[in-house]
C-alpha cells in the first residue's frame, strides 16, 4: 500500500469515528430528556399528592356532603310518583334542627270549668271512687258555635263514666266584632273555652293543638289523660273508658315506661306520603319534610295519651319548626324524635269516635235536632254503664 492509499484510509476512519461520536451524543441527549421528563412527572405527582394530603378536612367533608346531597336528591325523586305536580327538587333537609326556642302561645281566655270542683260533690257521684281523669281538647273555630253546642248536648255532657271523670275544653283562635262578642258570651256561659291570640285559619290549626298541649302541661298532673279531638266528632265515651283501661293494663304488663298514644278514630299503619302539590291545603314542601313517607301516626279525629307524654312532646316541639299537619307532626314525627317506638302507637278496636261526615246522608241534616238520631245510636252502645252529668 502506497502512502496515498494509507492517508485515504486514515481519513475514512476519522470520518466514521466522528459520525459514530455524533450519533452516540444525540442518543444520549434523547435519553437524558426522557429521564428528565419522567422525573418531572414523578415530582409533579408527588407535589399533587402532598397538596391533596394537606387539603383541610372541612373542605373534604363539604365535598362529601355535596355528593351525598346529590345522591340523596336523586334517590328521593326516583321514589316519588310520576306526577309533575307532586315532584319537586329537594332544596333542604327537614327543618328538625331549629335551635331557637319557639314562643309560648298567649291565652285570651282560659277555661275555669276544670278549676271548679263543685261537680265532685254532685249527688249522682255519691261515694264513687274516681280512678282516672281525662281532659279532651277540642280544636274548633270561633264560628263553629253549633258544633260545640252539639258536643255539649251529646258525648261531652257526660262528666263521669264508671270510675273515670271526663272534662272537655274547646280551643279556638282569635276573632273580631260580632263573632268575638258571641265567643265572650259563650265563654261566660260555659267556662270551657281556651281562646288563643293566633289566627283561626286552617293553616294555624297546629297552634291550637300546641296551645292545648301547653295548657295541659302547665295545669294538669302527669297521671291525667289527655285527648286531642276535632269539633266534628261524635265520641263513644263508654268505649274510650274501656280502651284506656285496656292500655293501662297493657302498659303495666309490658313494662312500658309511659302510656302509649291511642288512636281513638283511626291508625295509619302504612303512613302514606306527604302532599307535594302546592294547591293542596295539606301541602308539605321538601324544606319542611324531606322524607317520601310519613311515620306511623294517628289521624287528627281523636287520639289520647297521658299528660306526661304530652308534656314531653310539647317541650320537644318548642325547639322545632311545626308542620301544618299537626296530627302526623305530633303523633308521628315528634313521637319518633322523642324515642317512642311504633309499637306504642295503638288503636281502638272498634273505633271510639266518628266524624260527622260519616253521617252525611242523615235525614236530620240541616234541621232542628241534627245528629240526634245518630247520637242515640252511639249512646245505646254504652248506656248500660254508670253515667253522670254535671250541670
How is the chain split into domains, by residue range? 107-389
Q: What percent of the chain has pLDDT over 70?
A: 65
The CATH number of domain 107-389 is 3.30.460: no
> 156, 124 in Cβ contact below 8 A?
no
- Tell me which residue has cell 295548657: 215
Instruction: Tell me the per-residue pLDDT of 49-96, one tens digit each, with 9 for 90 and over.
Output: 444 444 343 333 333 333 333 333 333 333 333 333 332 322 223 334
Instruction: Tell me the per-residue pLDDT of 282-304, one tens digit each, with 9 for 90 and over.
Output: 777 778 777 778 789 998 799 99
| Full-model pTM | 0.69
pLDDT band at 321 (very low <50, low <70, confident <90, very high): confident
The residue with greater pLDDT, 135 or 278, is 135
Strands (E), 78-153: 107-109, 132-139
Q: Assess whether pLDDT exceeds 60 at residue 256.
A: yes
Q: Tell me how far apart the alpha carbons of residues 290 and 91 are, in angstroms, rounded to a whole number.
A: 9
- Helix residue ranges per DSSP H, the chain: 3-53, 57-79, 145-153, 177-190, 205-219, 237-253, 307-317, 326-328, 335-338, 372-379
Tallying the residues shown for the chain, one arrives at 391
pLDDT band at 341 (very low <50, low <70, confident <90, very high): very high
Q: Tell me how far apart the alpha carbons of residues 73 and 369 are, in angstroms, rounded to a whole number.
A: 54
pLDDT in the model for residue 50: 44
Task: Please state which of the ranges 67-71, 167-171, 247-251, 276-280 shows the lowest mean pLDDT.
Answer: 67-71
pLDDT in the model for residue 60: 30
Q: Tell me how far apart the alpha carbons of residues 194 and 169 are, in angstroms, rounded to a whole number.
A: 7
Instruction: Tell me the per-residue pLDDT of 218-250, one tens digit each, with 9 for 90 and over.
Output: 999 999 999 999 999 999 999 999 999 999 999
Strands (E), 270-342: 302-306
pLDDT in the model for residue 40: 42
The residue with greater pLDDT, 332 or 53, is 332
pLDDT in the model for residue 93: 31
Amino acid at each position: 500500500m502506497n502512502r496515498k492509499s494509507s492517508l485515504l484510509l486514515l481519513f475514512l476512519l476519522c470520518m466514521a469515528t466522528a459520525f459514530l461520536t455524533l450519533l452516540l451524543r444525540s442518543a444520549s441527549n434523547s435519553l437524558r430528556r426522557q429521564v428528565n421528563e419522567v422525573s418531572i412527572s414523578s415530582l409533579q405527582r408527588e407535589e399533587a399528592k402532598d397538596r391533596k394530603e394537606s387539603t383541610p378536612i372541612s373542605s373534604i367533608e363539604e365535598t362529601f356532603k355535596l355528593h351525598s346531597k346529590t345522591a340523596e336528591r336523586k334517590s328521593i325523586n326516583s321514589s316519588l310518583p310520576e306526577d309533575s305536580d307532586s315532584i319537586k327538587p329537594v332544596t333542604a333537609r327537614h327543618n328538625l334542627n331549629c335551635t331557637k326556642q319557639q314562643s309560648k302561645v298567649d291565652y285570651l281566655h282560659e277555661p275555669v270549668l276544670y278549676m271548679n270542683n263543685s261537680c265532685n260533690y254532685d249527688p249522682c257521684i255519691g261515694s264513687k271512687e274516681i280512678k282516672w281523669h281525662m281532659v279532651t281538647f277540642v280544636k274548633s273555630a270561633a264560628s263553629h258555635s253549633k258544633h260545640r253546642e252539639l258536643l255539649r248536648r251529646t258525648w261531652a255532657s257526660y262528666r263521669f263514666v264508671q270510675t273515670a271523670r271526663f272534662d272537655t275544653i274547646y280551643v279556638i283562635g282569635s276573632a273580631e266584632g260580632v263573632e268575638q262578642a258571641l265567643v265572650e258570651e259563650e265563654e261566660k256561659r260555659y267556662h270551657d273555652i281556651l281562646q288563643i291570640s293566633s289566627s283561626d285559619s286552617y293553616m294555624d290549626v297546629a297552634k291550637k293543638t300546641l296551645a292545648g298541649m301547653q295548657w295541659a302541661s302547665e295545669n294538669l298532673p302527669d297521671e291525667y289523660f289527655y285527648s286531642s279531638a276535632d269539633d266534628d266528632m261524635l265520641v263513644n265515651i263508654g268505649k274510650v273508658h274501656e280502651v284506656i283501661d285496656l292500655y293501662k293494663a297493657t302498659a303495666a304488663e309490658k313494662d312500658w315506661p309511659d302510656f302509649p298514644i291511642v288512636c281513638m278514630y283511626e291508625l295509619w299503619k302504612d303512613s302514606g306520603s306527604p302532599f307535594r302539590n302546592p294547591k293542596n291545603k295539606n301541602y308539605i314542601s321538601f324544606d319542611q319534610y324531606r322524607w317520601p313517607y310519613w311515620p306511623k301516626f294517628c289521624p287528627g279525629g281523636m287520639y289520647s295519651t297521658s299528660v306526661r307524654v304530652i308534656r314531653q312532646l310539647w317541650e320537644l316541639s318548642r325547639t322545632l319548626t311545626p308542620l301544618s299537619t299537626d296530627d302526623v307532626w305530633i303523633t308521628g314525627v315528634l313521637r319518633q324524635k322523642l324515642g317512642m317506638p311504633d309499637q306504642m302507637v295503638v288503636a281502638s278496636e272498634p273505633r271510639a269516635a266518628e266524624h260527622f261526615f260519616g253521617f252525611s246522608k242523615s235525614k236530620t241534616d240541616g234541621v232542628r235536632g241534627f245528629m240526634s238520631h245518630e247520637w242515640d245510636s252511639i249512646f245505646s252502645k254504652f248506656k248500660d254503664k254508670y253515667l253522670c252529668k254535671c250541670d
